[in-house]
Amino acid sequence: MKHIISRALAVLTAGVLLLPCGCSRGEDTGAGYLFTVMLPDNPDCLDPQFTDHPQALAVLPNMTEGLLRLDADGEPVCGEAESYDISEDGLTYTFTLRDDCYWYGKNTDPDRPERVTARDYVFAFRRLLDPATRSPYAQEYLSIRNAQAVLREGADTQTLGVTAPDATTVIFELEYPDPEFLPLLAQSCAVPCNEEFFLSTNGRYGLDEDTVLCNGAFCLQKWNYDKYGSGNFLTMRKSRLYHDAENVYPSSLQFNIEHGRTDAEAVYAEGGADIMATGHYPKTYLQSRSYEVQAVRAVTLGLIFNPDNENLKNDELRQALACGIDRSRLAPLLSEDLETASGCIPPGITLLGRSYREMLADEPLSPAYDPVQAAQLFDKAAALLNLNTMNTMQIMVPSSIQDTEALLAVCQEWQNIFGYYIGIETVSPDEYDRRLAAGEYAIALYGITPQRNSPYAALEAYTAAAKLTGMTSGDLQTLMQQLRQTQQLSESVAVCGEAERAILRTHCFIPLFYKNSYLISTAGNQDIRYNPFGGAIDLREAKHFS
């Protein structure tokens, strides 16, 4: 009850803050509603070039905009760019900015707005590629001329191939054609950054409501967070200065902040928000007429092994486990939340308008079920390691995964083949995250989710998780470099397949299931755009009908 009361007070406070900019167009259009979104954690910061915090990525698309943005189909379309041109050789991208894009923040004067200029984009990309920024996105933009020299060799950021010949023109010069360059420009990290404002924050850029500058559909008004308290929230109001304000339907947004996924889901179940993204199979919500659920197979669940465990460092032991999995027995045991997986890239990833998995079937990728070979590999590894038992080992699983019966079948088959039983330990999602970070596990069921809808990004997610999985593969690095320079997306499918095989040959990640990511919203809400890759919840065109 105290959660509901604190939520009501927060909404009331937000309503008082946001009343002056109601802009409602009437109930029949679904406009003028205050949407509330549940967040399981506080965004670490709202610096687009730096943060990869899941909660920040859910918030940022509503308050920032780049040259391009993603439409309802996930395709890049003009945002702050009025138009763009690509040279015939694919090496020069020229963007012309709109003349009605402005900066606005909590303390800016709406009657004297400052224009967003091409110089703001140049500064943003110099920050993005500057090694001092330590941006997690820098590696994705290495096709830009001199990006590698800036990022890896300390070259001057002014040599970067991003220039502004005038206030409304941004030019990108590439080292090689990059078929994914336009989608990359629609990412939250590719938004502009006002240098003067950035410097004025004295190193606190994006850390509170006073150090955030917006240029998107909504303007940040209040960011209230006490890590020891409840009733935390982040509020935004619709910006009348946004260039497409007439097509922004909500009057305001409120992101309610909890202390962990368990608390967030409990408060949401009590009616604490309109919207919540979750990886937890929402069976109750799917069966209720009071909710709408969006589902995308965006996650590949597989087994990872503690790279510090002396026994599990042995490749033949991991390979034995991989060969001892009979996936044909698993499908009948699964709910609609999961399907069996043999590859690395989930079916939700699309390429040229089709599911990548439709273009390249995953069945031949993982080692075939072979109990004889599995037993031979296990015996060889056990002799080398003086392994007398594996009964003390367990697979750590977050309680958000409810289909443990299929995983139990895997463990039983291993017992039949090896004579040892590896059990399952189910822990809360918050405890799972803590133990994973601390290395307090032997084997874990782990989900890989790409940061954007791209086969390349899906493969890159495995590279990013290498420290956790212990995976190293020279073949993978070679194939990733080849993918960066593939000029036609259609030509990349076969290379992606080889890259999947390179990952699977390390036996550091053994795929088991493709899993859904979900966005739950109360009935009557429409046109909420959810991108499970990165977690963006775009509410610009969201409508509410009572």
Element spanning 253, H or E: strand 252-257
Fold exhibited by the domain 65-202: Dipeptide-binding Protein; domain 1 (3.90.76)
Lowest mean pLDDT among 249-253, 448-452, 491-495, 508-512: 491-495
Assess whether pLDDT exceeds 60 at residue 207: yes
Is the separation of the CB atoms in 540 and 23 below 8 Å? no
Condensed to tens digits (0 to 9), the pLDDT of residues 230-240 reads 899 999 999 99
Assign 27 a pLDDT band (cuts: 50, 70, 90).
Answer: low
Q: Please, which pLDDT band fits residue 349 given cuts at 50, 70 and 90?
A: very high
Mean pLDDT of the chain: 91
Average pLDDT for residues 120-129, to the nearest whole number? 98
pLDDT at residue number 245: 96
Q: What is the pLDDT of residue 487?
A: 72
The per-residue pLDDT for 18 is 37
Check pLDDT > 50 for residue 7: no
pLDDT tens string 140-176: 999 999 999 999 999 999 999 999 999 999 999 999 9
Tell me the β-bridge partners of 355.
350
Domain ranges of the chain: 1-63+216-290+523-546, 65-202, 297-517
The secondary structure of residue 367, as a DSSP letter, is P
67 pLDDT exceeds 50?
Answer: yes
Q: Please state the rounded mean pLDDT for residues 499-512.
A: 96
Confidence of residue 484 (pLDDT cuts 50, 70, 90): confident
Residue 303 scores a pLDDT above 90? yes
Q: What is the pLDDT of residues 360-386, one digit of tens each?
A: 999 889 999 999 999 999 999 999 999
Q: What is the pLDDT of residue 14?
A: 41
The predicted-structure confidence for 404-415, as pLDDT tens digits, reads as follows: 999 999 999 999
CATH class of 1-63+216-290+523-546: alpha beta
In order, the DSSP letters of 465-484 are THHHH----HHHHHHHHHHH
Q: How far apart are CA 162 and CA 66, in angstroms?
A: 14
526: nearest Cα among 543, 503, 539, 514: 543
The Cα–Cα gap between 94 and 163 comes to 10
Q: Which residues, in sequence order, are bridge partners of residue 514?
A: 300, 339
Q: Give the integer Cα–Cα distance in Å for 483 and 474.
A: 14
Element (H, E) at 405: helix 404-418
- Give the pLDDT confidence score for residue 9 in this predicted structure: 40
Would you say the CATH fold of 65-202 matches that of 1-63+216-290+523-546? no
What is the number of H-type helices and E-type strands within the chain?
17, 25
What does DSSP say about strands 114-115 and 102-103: parallel, antiparallel, or unpaired? antiparallel
Half-sphere exposure of residue 142: CA atoms within 13 angstroms, side-chain side: 14
Q: What percentage of the chain carries pLDDT values higher than 70?
A: 95
Query: What pLDDT score does 90 carry?
Result: 93
Other Cβ atoms within 10 Å of 242 Cβ, number: 22
Does residue 13 have a pLDDT over 50? no
Architecture of domain 297-517: Roll (3.10)
